[in-house]
Amino acid sequence: KQWYQRRVAITAGGVCAAKNFCKRNSVAKSDADALVSAVLLYIPQVFGHCRFGKNANSFFGKECKNTLQQGYCYGKSLYDGYEVAEKVADCSFGEGDRDYSVSVTYTDMAAVLSSNGPVEQLGALGCESVLPCVEHLADKLAKCAARDDTFYAKALENARNLLEPFITSNMDAVEDSLVCHFGADSDALTLLDLIKQKITSFDDIVDLVNKYLDADTQESLASGARSGLYSFLEGSNEFCDAECISKTSEYFKDLFTATHDAETCPTIESYCGGCQNNAESFISANADSVPCCTQTAMDSIIGSLQSLIEEYGDLLSKIESAVKDTVTEADVSVAGYEAVKAAAMEQAGCLEDTYEDLADGDCA
């Protein structure tokens, strides 16, 4: 009922209804239907120890079926459009230089945000199906957990029993792919061998988790995740009810258009410098025009990220240090990782400065 009411409200409010990404693509639709059937088959095997999990159709719900079908069809269109299969099959065996330069521009990003374009269509799908799906599943899982303190532990064990044979049977394919793209003597293959030595079963993963997360920390993470989920649902409902998809798309379409410049900001590869200056000039010239619902959503996202960093930053640093030590012991250099990390931190700092400009102004 809640899902139906939201859909009616969105359509009546003038916001585009979600596009049927499976339309005119019978192959993708058939594959999507097969995927849904597989999920329905496995739900009782994972959650059947709860009475709600015995009925797969009721547990998954029509919203989640639609989300999975439409998400698969949209993903398949991107997969085919960018010729991913051909690129994956193109083996270089670590020889020659691949071109990893970024050619996407802010003008390209603005085009994606055009009226009734991909972002608005996906946003409509999010409000019409994805959000109700998450709410539906959260409700079912909460009811199961309320009736059985061991519900999640049993579900995890069931999932493990299903996934372990699949992962084991596909490990050779992963190794072949790494050899194909990076070569038999590559660091990538060395890291895979290291992982295979360290993790020989699901129990090894559990031991690693327990090594870095004591019982209190694990409970704190679980409690924080539950709280974060319900906070996300509340904020997302407000975003959808405010018909904020088109408002946000329109604002950022204009922002991205103004950010692009052939000389100072030719691509999205680096934000600091020319791109940041152009974006902040637009924000300054159009002060107080950011939609209030957009500003609220951004504040919520940034606030959540900052809280996570403050609470678990030390833990993440400890894990990062342990992983780097293990990798170094395997004679794999971490210099490339450190360079990427430093560059990412620099870009994140510039983006944060721009966000503060957006957040400080009055909203429209």
pLDDT digits (tens, 9 = 90+) for 178-234: 999 889 888 988 999 988 888 888 888 888 888 888 888 888 888 888 888 888 899
What's the pLDDT band for 97 if we cut at 50, 70, 90? low
Give the pLDDT mean for 91-105. Answer: 77
Asked whether the predicted pLDDT for residue 111 surpasses 90, the reply is yes
Three-state secondary structure of the chain: CHHHHHHHHHHHCCCCCCCCCCCCCHHHHHHHHHHHHHHHHHHHHHHCCCHHHCCHHHHHHHHHHHHHHHHHHHHHHHHHHCCHHHHHHCCCCCCCCCCCCCCCCHHHHHHHCCCCCHHHHHHHHHHHHHHHHHHHHHHHHHHHHHHCCCHHHHHHHHHHHHHHHHHHHHHHHHHHHHHHHHCCCCHHHHHHHHHHHHCCCHHHHHHHHHHHCCHHHHHHHHHHHHHHHHHHHHHHHHHHHCCHHHHHHHHHHHHHHHHCECCCECCCCCCCCHHHHHHHHHHHHCCCCCCHHHHHHHHHHHHHHHHHHHHHHHHHHHHHHHHHHHHHHCCCCCHHHHHHHHHHHHHHHHHHHHHHHHHHCCCC
Which of 36-45, 91-100, 118-127 shows the lowest per-residue confidence on average (mean pLDDT)?
A: 91-100
For a pLDDT cut of 70, what percent of the chain falls above it?
Answer: 94
Asked whether the predicted pLDDT for residue 75 surpasses 70, the reply is yes
What's the pLDDT band for 91 if we cut at 50, 70, 90? confident
For a pLDDT cut of 90, what percent of the chain falls above it?
Answer: 58
Asked whether the predicted pLDDT for residue 1 surpasses 50, the reply is no
Dist. CA 132–CA 6, nearest whole Å: 9
Give the pLDDT mean for 118-135. Answer: 94
What's the pLDDT band for 330 if we cut at 50, 70, 90? confident
pLDDT for residue 288 = 87
Long-range contacts made by residues 259-263, C-beta under 8 angstroms, separation at least 24? 259/106, 260/105, 260/106, 260/107, 260/110
Q: Dihedral sign, CA of 322, 328, 329, 332?
A: positive
pLDDT for residue 14 = 42
Asked whether the predicted pLDDT for residue 114 surpasses 60, the reply is yes
pLDDT for residue 3 = 42
259 vs 305, more confident? 259
pLDDT for residue 214 = 86
Give the pLDDT mean for 30-44. Answer: 97
Asked whether the predicted pLDDT for residue 11 surpasses 70, the reply is no
The mean predicted confidence, pLDDT, of the chain is 89
Give the pLDDT mean for 355-359. Answer: 92
State the pTM of this model: 0.84
pLDDT for residue 13 = 42
Asked whether the predicted pLDDT for residue 7 surpasses 50, the reply is no
pLDDT for residue 17 = 65
